[in-house]
Amino acid sequence: MRRSVLVALAVLFAGFLGACSTGAYFWQATTGHLKVLASAKPIDAVLATPDTPAKLRTQLKYVQQIRAFSVTRLGLPDNRSYRSYADLNRPYVVWNVVAAQPDSLTLNTWCFPFTGCISYKGFYKEEDAVKLGNSLRSEGLDVAVLGVPAYSTLGFTPDPVLSTFVYFPAGELARLIFHELAHQVIYIADDTMFNESFATAVEELGVNEWLNQEGNAPLRAPYEVFDGRRAAFRLMLARAQDDLRAIYSDPALVESGTVLQAKAERLALLRTEYSGLKASWGGWAGYDRFMADDLNNAKLGVSGLYTRHVPAFKALFVHCESNFPDFYKAVDALGAKPAAERDGLLQAIRSGDFSQIDLGCSGF
């Protein structure tokens, strides 16, 4: 998982929860984020420092351009987020734990005040995430522990640019910032897939427009190479997810007790498919870690959170005449619907049925 909405940040305002059984978790989340904020410096100050490395200077200038574009062209929040920089001296800012039953791609959820129920649990120390992961494995669950380079606090605090992602290629840097800012525009409690798919749609739409800006043309070619590989990888995972859902719901396999055997065979095929895909890339190994560690329902389930509804959101954007503010209004109205109804609407939108959406794109 590349990103996360940090589940416990709303509890910055809730010290009264200390007596709760989840008090220790809230404490690590609150103190962990406060340490991140304490290490942040305004980007202008970092750029004004003579000994700032040249590469960091270049990347932070990209951030400033991306941040300005996010406001003027994408209608994303004009606030203090991504206007400061923090060097964390570690590879990830948090580590997320995800889990699922051995015969299901549906992820387990954890529920918190303000944010509702989400499909992962984040920790600032890797050992804490590993400890929970091992505990869940002992219960027979499929588990993955995933390093996360960035997260959103939904605008509660000014999220800084982090050393864990600042050196991403410019196109990827833009995608990430657009994604996290999108979470500040719309966040629906208890629906991780809706939130992540919406933010992914915004990042993909936004980066395409950003790369079209004057002076950014040289950045497009390397971006498209990586994005093409990502699209092929996601398509491969989507096929595996569809096959696994069919396996888990096949009455004959369930009755014969061979569901897990069929699962193992499909995962083995997935590894073979990846070897072929990697060879077509000339051996580029960018997804090796994903494929090597904890390739199971948890990891495949979480990958679907970011992509499942993206085609529907993009279709809705076009329906809204490619106007970002109108698009956000429509998504907000969609998010206000009961979960089953909005899922049905997203399916209809994906298939091109806009009969239940008003033509002004302001509501449903």
- Computed over every residue of the chain, the mean pLDDT equals 90
Q: What sign has the CA pseudo-torsion 350, 354, 357, 358?
A: positive
Q: Span 239-252, mean pLDDT?
A: 97
How high is the pLDDT of residue 363? Answer: 61
How high is the pLDDT of residue 4? Answer: 52
Is the predicted pLDDT of residue 304 greater than 90, yes or no? no
Query: Which pair of structure tokens corresponds to residue 25?
Result: 């978790």
Is the predicted pLDDT of residue 79 greater than 50, yes or no? yes
Using pLDDT thresholds of 50, 70 and 90, give the confidence band for residue 170.
very high
Using pLDDT thresholds of 50, 70 and 90, give the confidence band for residue 112.
confident
| Three-state secondary structure call for residue 118 | strand
Q: Span 157-164, mean pLDDT?
A: 97
Q: Span 194-200, mean pLDDT?
A: 94
| Three-state secondary structure call for residue 146 | strand
How high is the pLDDT of residue 1? Answer: 38
Which residues does 271 contact at the CB level (< 8 Å), separation at least 6?
A: 291, 295
Q: Span 202-209, mean pLDDT?
A: 96
Is the predicted pLDDT of residue 270 greater than 50, yes or no? yes
Using pLDDT thresholds of 50, 70 and 90, give the confidence band for residue 20.
very low
CA distance 94 to 308: 24
How high is the pLDDT of residue 127? Answer: 97
CA distance 48 to 23: 41
How high is the pLDDT of residue 15? Answer: 33
Q: Span 32-60, mean pLDDT?
A: 97
Q: Span 326-336, mean pLDDT?
A: 94
Buried b (16+ CB within 10 A) or exposed e, 265-297: ebbeebeebbeebbeeeeeeeebeebbeebbbb
Task: Report helix angle 297-305 to 217-248, nearest 10.
Answer: 130
**What share of the chain in percent tops pLDDT 90?**
79
How high is the pLDDT of residue 307? Answer: 81
More confident residue, 237 or 1: 237
CA distance 64 to 264: 47
How high is the pLDDT of residue 305? Answer: 73
Is the predicted pLDDT of residue 11 greater than 70, yes or no? no
CA distance 270 to 239: 9
Q: Span 254-276, mean pLDDT?
A: 98
* 56-69 residue pLDDT tens: 999 999 999 999 99
